[in-house]
Amino acid sequence: MPPLRRSSAPLHAEHVGYLELLRTNANVRRLWFGSVVSLFGDWFNTLAIYRIVQDQSGSALALAAALVTKLLPLALASPLAGVLVDRFDRRRVMIGADLVRAVIVLGFLFVRDASDLWLLYTLASAQIVVSAVFMPAKSALLPNITTNRELLTANAWLSATWSVMLAVGAAAGGLAVDVFGTDAVFVFDSLTYLLSAVFIARMTVVSAPREAASEKEPVLRAALRQVGEGWTYLRHHAGVRRIVWAKASWGAGGGALLLILALLGDTLLPEAQTTGMGILFAARGLGTGLGPVLARAAFPDASRWPLVLGASIAATGLGYFALGLVPWTVWIAGFVVFAHAAGGANWVLSTTMLQQRSEDRFRGRVIATDWLLVTLVESVSVMVGGVLLEVGMGLRAAVLLFAGIQVLSGVLWTLRVVPAERVAAA
C-alpha cells in the first residue's frame, strides 16, 4: 500500500496539473470515477423528488420543506458523523454509506400520491443523514491520498466534477423525468451508488492512526466527548474557526435563492416544467464548475483567498440581483452561471484551507462542523423564503431581497475576516 501522500511544500507552491493528477494518482482517479456515477444519479433523484412535490402539492412551502429535508438532517447528523470519520477507516465508511443509500432510494418507488409525501420526506432525510457521513469522510480522506501540490487541484477537479454532473445530470434528469417518469430515475440512482462503492473499494489508502475507544467508556459518551473535543479544537484555532464560517455566510441568502431557482423552472418552460428546472440547475452546475478552475488559475497565492471568499459571496448576490431586474427567458441562465461560479470558488477555496489548516485527527470533525453550519444556515434561509412566497411575496421581489442579503453577507465577511487574517499573517 502507498504511504500517506503528504509533502512539506507550501500551499502556494506550483500546483500539479489536472491530467497529471489523474494519470499519476490512482486513488484520486478511483475516487473521481465513483463521484462521477453517484453524482449523476443524485441529480436525477433530486429533480424527481422536486417534481413529485410540485405535482402533489403545488406549494412553494412544500417545495421548501423538500429542500430542507436535504439540508437539515445533514446539519443534525454532522457532529456525530465527524466522530465516525475520525474514528474509523474513512474508505470503509464511504463504501458502507454508498451501500445503505442504494437501498434507501428504492423506497421512493412507494411514493404514489399526496398522502405518501411523509414517506418521501422521511426517505430524503434518511438519504441525507447517510450522506452526512459520506461527504466529510471524502473531504477528510483527500489530504491522505494527495500531496500539498495535488490537494488544491484535487479539490478543484472534484468540485468541477460535482458541477459537471449537476449540469449534465440536471439537464438529462429533467428530460428523463418528463419522458420516463420518476420510478425509472430512482432505480437508476440506486445502481449508481452500487457502482460508486465498487470504485471506492479499489482504493488503497493508509490513513493516520485513529483514536481508539476506551473499553470502559460507553459508545455514546465517547462520541459526545469527541464532538466536544472537535469544538474545543475550533475554539482554540482561530485560523480554522474563521474559515469554517465561509460557506455558511454564503448560505444566508444562497439557500433561499436555490429554492427560487427551482420555482423559476416552472416559469421558464410552462409546457415542460421539469426540463425548465433542469436547464437552470444545469446553469448552476456550469457555474460551480468554472468558478474553482478560474479561482485556482487566478489566485495561486493562498494569502489572498480570504478576500476572494468574501468577494465571491457578494458576487453571487450581484448575479442574482441582476437576474431579478431582467425579463425571465432562457437567457437568465447566464446570470445563474456567473452567480454560482462565485459560489463554487468560495466552496473549493474554503474547503482547501480547512483541509490544510486542520490536524488529521480532527479533520473529520472540522469538515463535519463546516457542513453543520452551512446546512443550518441554508435551512433557515430556505424556510424563510418558502414562508414569504407562501404568504404572497412575488418571485421577483424574493430574488431581489435574498440577493441583497447575499451581498451584505459578503461585505460583512470581508470586513470581519480579512483584517484578522492579515493580523495573523503578520
Pick the closest to residue 44 from 191, 143, 147, 150 (CA basis): 191
Residue 223 pLDDT level (bands cut at 50, 70, 90) = low
What was the pLDDT predicted at 210?
Answer: 53
pLDDT-derived band of residue 218, with 50, 70 and 90 as boundaries? low
The domains located in the chain, with CATH, are 18-206+216-425 (1.20.1250.20)
Question: pLDDT class for 8, splitting at 50, 70, 90?
Answer: very low
Pairwise pLDDT comparison (173 vs 412), residue with the higher score: 412
Instruction: List the one residue out of 180, 200, 170 whose CA is nearest residue 40.
Output: 170
Predicted confidence (pLDDT) per residue in 245-263, tens digit: 888 899 999 889 988 887 8
CA distances to 43, 174, 247, 269, 320 from 128, rounded to whole Å, are: 13, 21, 18, 29, 27
d(CA 62, CA 59): 5
Residue 330: alpha-carbon gap to chain centroid: 25
- Say what the pTM is: 0.68
Amino acid type, 354: L
Mean per-residue pLDDT over the chain, rounded = 81
* DSSP designation for 105: G
DSSP string, 303-343: GGHHHHHHHHHHHHHHHHHHHTTS--SGGGHHHHHHHHHHH
Average pLDDT over residues 124-138: 85
Helix axes 333-357, 148-180, angle to 10 degrees: 140
Judged against a pLDDT cut of 70, whether residue 226 lies above it is answered with: no
pLDDT above 70 covers a percentage of the chain that reads 88
* Residues 14-54: tens digit of each pLDDT: 677 888 888 888 998 998 888 888 887 777 777 777 778 87
Residue 227, pLDDT score: 67
When pLDDT is averaged across residues 295-311 and rounded to a whole number, the result is 87
